[in-house]
Amino acid sequence: MIPEELPEIIPEEMRGVAAKISAGERVTNEEGEALFRSKDIALLGILAGVVRRRFNGDRVYFNRNFHIEPTNICIHNCRFCSYRKPAGSPGSWDYTPDQIMDIVKSFDNKPVTEVHIVGGVHPAHDLHYYGKILSMIKAHRPGIHIKAFTAVELDYMIKKGGLTLEEGLAELKKYGLDSIPGGGAEIFDEVIRREICDDKSSSEKWLKIHEVAHRTGLPSNATILYGHIENYGHRIDHLDRLRRLQDKTGGFNAFIPLKFRKSNNPMEKQGEVSLIEDMKNYAVSRIFLDNFPHIKAYWPALGRSSTQLSLSFGVDDVDGTIDDTTKIYSMAGAEDQRPAMDTSEISALIRGAGYTPVERDTLYNVVREW
Ligand code: V47
């Protein structure tokens, strides 16, 4: 509990919610919005720290992974996207299965534990096309964890393969899928979703796919795309829908807030939110999602020093070594145009903020303490 004799460090209007957080009680949507409205960013960091220590002590996790972005050809036209191209246009790519295997083979002598596969929704590829690629990866490197395909990609490839969600996810698991990344969630509020990614799978569908995945034994992550036209109410609504699903299934590992980056997309004039807003978002997510074990700062999107700061606002995971294998964020204007950090750099970043670096696998089993 918060000691009675120190009330002056907490503004009066925050004392009720601060006491609840300190006692491990769940905060309501109204309290979540009040936390977002607070200008007391230092207090938010302290309160998020209370929750992060309950889950993760002073540990900060990272993993060794690489990304494959099989195609940037996409049937959707999200207004925030700097990456997609219509089929046949200059700058578009669609790697063949052999080209994808060449990327996998280029990591043969590296101790990576995960491959993260996310790309555009290609009109011609169904779940069997991608499933065969998963089998080829597993045949070549049986020990690697395949975290692949956002719910939006899954929605299309399963429908195109003529299967139900249940059948499609079970089939992909048989092909070698181990877990599902958190992308495609964007913002669940239907009005805002229509404005920024009108033709994409609905919020209801995104949540359904993750629910069925969890029931199929495929754990997953969740994201939010924040810092564009949404308000605090929309962010809390998003967190609330995730918290409810997690109460039901327990299948989410990490929540990953993704800051909208403005370059080379139709929403450029929207600008980007401040560092204060980023830290607030991490802290409130950590406090509100009291059933998510991990909050991840995706460093290629956020930048290195902001990622380091985020560790004092509830973040306990900085994702992976990545090794310059993702283009989604460099194309949208992130500082790191060739994002790559080795384990000693990641470890120094974490230690530099006073935390203990822990190398994990995708499912948060400890690989090594650094
Ligand atoms: O869904 C696209 C986002 C996501 C922009 O699960 C943008 O471990 C900001 O989901 N500004 C895909 N964000 C990436 C993703 C992800 C990344 C890292 C780890 C995991 C995980 C998942 O990227 C999309 C969208 O929300 N995005 N464009 C942009 N301009």
Quickly list H helices, 227-342: 232-249, 275-288, 299-302, 304-310
For residue 325, count CB atoms less than 10 angstroms from its CB and return exposed for 0-12, middle for 13-18, buried for 19 or more: buried
Domains and CATH numbers, the chain: 6-49 (no CATH), 57-369 (3.20.20.70)
The answer, yes or no, to whether residue 158 has pLDDT greater than 80, is yes
Backbone φ/ψ region at 4: left (φ over 0), alpha (ψ -120 to 50), beta: alpha
Distance CA 158, CA 225 (A): 24
In this structure, what token pair is assigned to residue 297?
């700062």
pLDDT for the residue numbered 273: 95
Calculate the CA dihedral of residues 66, 71, 74, 77 and round it to 10 degrees: 50
Ligand 1 atom nearest to CA at 184: 1
Reported as a pLDDT band with limits 50, 70 and 90, residue 301 is: confident
Name which of 180-184, 254-258, 297-301 the model is least confident about.
297-301
Percent of the chain with pLDDT over 90: 84
CA distance 331 to 136: 29
pLDDT of residue 337 exceeding 70, the answer is no
User: pLDDT at position 322, please?
Assistant: 72
pLDDT at 90 over 80: yes
Cα 163 to averaged position of ligand 1 atoms, centre (Å): 27
Which residues are CB-contacts of 317 (< 8 A; sequence separation ≥ 6)? 60, 61, 62, 254, 294, 295, 296, 297, 360
- Is the pLDDT confidence value at 286 over 80? yes
Supply φ then ψ for residue 73, to 5 degrees.
-80, 130
pLDDT, position 275: 96
What mean pLDDT do residues 149-166 have?
98
127 pLDDT higher than 80: yes
State the pLDDT confidence band at 339, using cuts at 50, 70 and 90. low
Q: How far apart are CA 129 and CA 280, in angstroms?
A: 41
Q: Is the dihedral of CA 350, 295, 42, 309 positive or negative?
A: positive
Report the alpha-carbon distance of residue 234 to residue 242 in Å, rounded: 13
* Residues 127 and 167: beta-carbon distance below 8 Å: no
pLDDT-derived band at 104 (thresholds 50, 70, 90) equals very high
Atom of ligand 1 nearest to the CA of 332: 30
Beta bridge partners, 294, equal: 254
Q: How confident is the model at residue 89 (pLDDT cuts 50, 70, 90)?
A: confident
Task: Please tell me the distance between residue 152's alpha carbon and the centre of ligand 1 in angstroms.
Answer: 12
Strands 220-226 and 145-148: unpaired
Whole-angstrom distance, CA of residue 2 vs CA of residue 192:
38
The pLDDT score that the predictor gives to residue 330 is 65
For the cut 60, the answer to whether the pLDDT of residue 328 exceeds it is yes
Q: Is the pLDDT of residue 288 over 90?
A: yes
Q: Which of 69, 65, 77, 118 is nearest to 94 (CA)?
A: 69
Residue 2 has pLDDT above 60, yes or no: no
Hey, what are 348's tokens?
């120094």
With the most atoms of ligand 1 within 8 angstroms of its CB, the residue from 150, 210, 258, 292 to mutate is 258
Region 37-57: mean pLDDT is: 97
Average pLDDT on 87-103 reads 93
51-78 average pLDDT score: 96
Average pLDDT over residues 54-63: 97
Q: 183 CA distance to ligand 1 centroid (A)? A: 5
Distance 96 CA to ligand 1 centre (A): 23
Mean local confidence (pLDDT), 62-83: 94
Which residue puts its alpha carbon closest to atom 8 of ligand 1?
181
The amino acid at residue 298 is Y
1 pLDDT band, cuts 50/70/90, is low
Distance 258 CA to ligand 1 centre (A): 6
Q: Cα–Cα distance between 92 and 59 in angstroms, integer?
A: 40
Nearest CA to ligand 1 atom 7: 260
Please state, in angstroms and rounded to a whole number, the distance separating the CA atoms of residues 24 and 54: 9
Mutation pick for ligand 1 pocket among 66, 117, 223 (CB with most ligand atoms within 8 Å): 223
Query: Residue 88's pLDDT is what?
Result: 84
- What residue type is 118 in one-letter code? V
State percent of the chain over pLDDT 70: 94
For 50, 76, 82, 85, 219, the CA distances from 148, given in Å and listed in that order, are 32, 19, 21, 21, 11
Q: With contact defined as beta carbons under 8 Å apart, do 317 and 61 qualify?
A: yes
Please tell me the predicted confidence (pLDDT) of residue 342: 84
pLDDT in tens, 162-183: 999 999 999 999 999 999 999 9
**Residue 5 pLDDT > 60, yes or no?**
no
Residues with CB under 6 A from ligand 1: 80-82, 118, 150, 181-184, 186, 221, 223, 225, 256, 258, 260-261, 265, 298, 319, 328, 332
What does the block give as tokens for 220? 């997953």
**Pocket residue to mutate for ligand 1, from 77, 153, 225, 260, most atoms within 8 A of Cβ:** 225
Mean of all residue pLDDT scores within the chain? 93
